[in-house]
Chain A
Amino acid sequence: MAGAASWSFSENDFKQIQQHLQAFLRDANARCALLVDRTGQLVATVGDPPQFDSAAFASLTAADFSANDQLAKMVGEHEFASLVHQGQKESMLLADVAKRVILVVLFDQRTTLGLVKLKGKAVVERLTKVFEEMFKGVGAGPSAPQKGLLEGAEDEIDKLFG
């Protein structure tokens, strides 16, 4: 492989992901859910809009998860499929989805960790199916970006960089 493969998702995939997350937030009584790609890019946000810089948040989430992945291997575990960071008022749950994406759930005292974990497990299964479907067709890898998105855009790229 020359480098990391690109992946893309359509508006339909996006809508489906949002619907699953909205239903989950309702069931779990959590405030906000974010989906972050393993490389640190924000894929989707549902629920109360976060009051922080979500790009920075996403990059730290991916780093946090990757570091914990390595720690798991060091102690002889295949992975830590989910992580919990518990604060006095605000807490978060992080869970792996299809080995490519991380689900981050922000919740407060209006719910309990147990409920978020329980409902989280179900939504992870549903999201895993959606992502696996998206990645299907190109073997085990992610779906390739639609060919021709930037095809013939060399001039535009040159112009962008002066």
Chain B
Amino acid sequence: MSMINYASREINCKLVYYGPGLGGKTTNLEHIYGKVSPNTRGKMISLATETERTLFFDFLPVDLGTIRGFKTRFHLYTVPGQVYYNASRKLILKGVDGIVFVADSQIERMEANVESMQNLYDNMSEYGYDLTKIPFVIQYNKRDLPNAAPVKDLQASLNPGWPVDDAGQQKVVPDPTHPGENLVEKVSNEWVGHAAYLEAVATRGDGVFDTLKTVSKMVLKTLS
């Protein structure tokens, strides 16, 4: 739920990094924290266990620049990935403007990815939010690992597409980051939409800012 403050001329938006445990959500935020100038970011808050597993959330506020004289301030949150913490995970989704699903590319984590994606859909629908209609990006993390599944397989499991029933949206939308692929397309007489996806190695920072840029741009465009 973006909040526009005309008195301080700020647009505040909330982004949530979701995904299975140990997938790299906190690593994404840590990389952003380390690379962004201290003038444009706030303090990073981590509510974690003694073993550095996220207990409630990580939080990082970042200013991304000024548009029409309004400061665009994004509040980045991660959720605890472990299945056990669903009650707190759901709380963090309240009022979300954009979602990044950080998937763990390792073949062994495929089931955990699918389970977490299902959990995301369920939690969103409990709030009455429709994941297919809000800014949503999938990040395939850990692409450097030898046991990383091919992106094609990850896409088939995690981003198979949803039906596009609105006639006004039934037109081919090319994927700007993957030439030859489409975000909206007709497959055997049915129109389907896909979430944008990116590849990343969050420990090295590869793809981290591209992901943040992609989703925040989508969020700002919903206001235009």
Do the two chains bind? yes
Which A residues contact B (CB, under 8 angstroms)?
1-11, 14-15, 37-41, 43, 53, 55-56, 59-60, 63, 66-67, 70, 142, 145-146, 149-154, 156-158, 160-162
A152 to B68, CA, bound (A): 10
Q: Out of B6, B67, B134, B217, which one reaches A10, CB within 8 Å?
A: B6
A3-B133, A145-B223, A150-B68 known; A66+B91 contact, CB < 8 A:
yes
Interface size class of chain B, counting residues whose CB lies under 8 Å from the partner chain: 35 or more
Contacts of A150 in B (CB 8 A): 11, 67-68, 220, 223-224
Instruction: List the A side residues contacting B224 at CB < 8 Å.
Output: 150-154, 157
5 tightest A-B CB contacts, nearest first: A39-B95, A2-B133, A4-B1, A3-B134, A8-B4
Contact residues in B for A67 (Cβ distance below 8 Å): 56, 88, 91
Enumerate chain B interface residues (CB-CB to A < 8 A).
1-7, 11-12, 14, 42-43, 45, 47, 56-57, 59, 61, 64-65, 67-68, 70, 72, 75, 77, 87-88, 91-92, 94-97, 127-130, 133-134, 213, 216-217, 220-224
Residue among A7, A146, A149 with the highest chain B CB neighbour number at 10 A: A149
User: If A63-B56, A154-B224 touch, does A14 touch B7 (CB 8 Å cutoff)?
Assistant: yes
| Contacting pair A41 B14 (CB below 8 A) | yes
In the assembled complex, the Cα of A10 lies from the Cα of B213 at a distance in Å of 29
11 additional contacts (CB under 8 A) given A10-B7, A67-B91, A70-B87? A3-B133, A6-B1, A6-B3, A9-B5, A37-B3, A39-B1, A39-B94, A59-B77, A63-B47, A145-B4, A149-B4
Does the CB pair A1–B130 fall under 8 Å? yes
Do residues A156 and B64 form an inter-chain contact, with CB atoms below 8 A?
no
Chain B residue nearest to A14 in the complex (CB): B7
Question: Do residues A157 and B67 form an inter-chain contact, with CB atoms below 8 A?
Answer: yes
Task: Tell me, in angstroms, the Cα distance from A161 to B65 when the chains sit together.
Answer: 9
Contacts of A146 in B (CB 8 A): 4
In the assembled complex, the CB of B175 is this many whole angstroms from the nearest CB of chain A, namely: 17
For the complex formed, measure the closest distance between the CB of B75 and the CB atoms of chain A, giving whole angstroms: 6
Given A2-B133, A150-B68, A8 and B3 touching (CB < 8 A)? yes
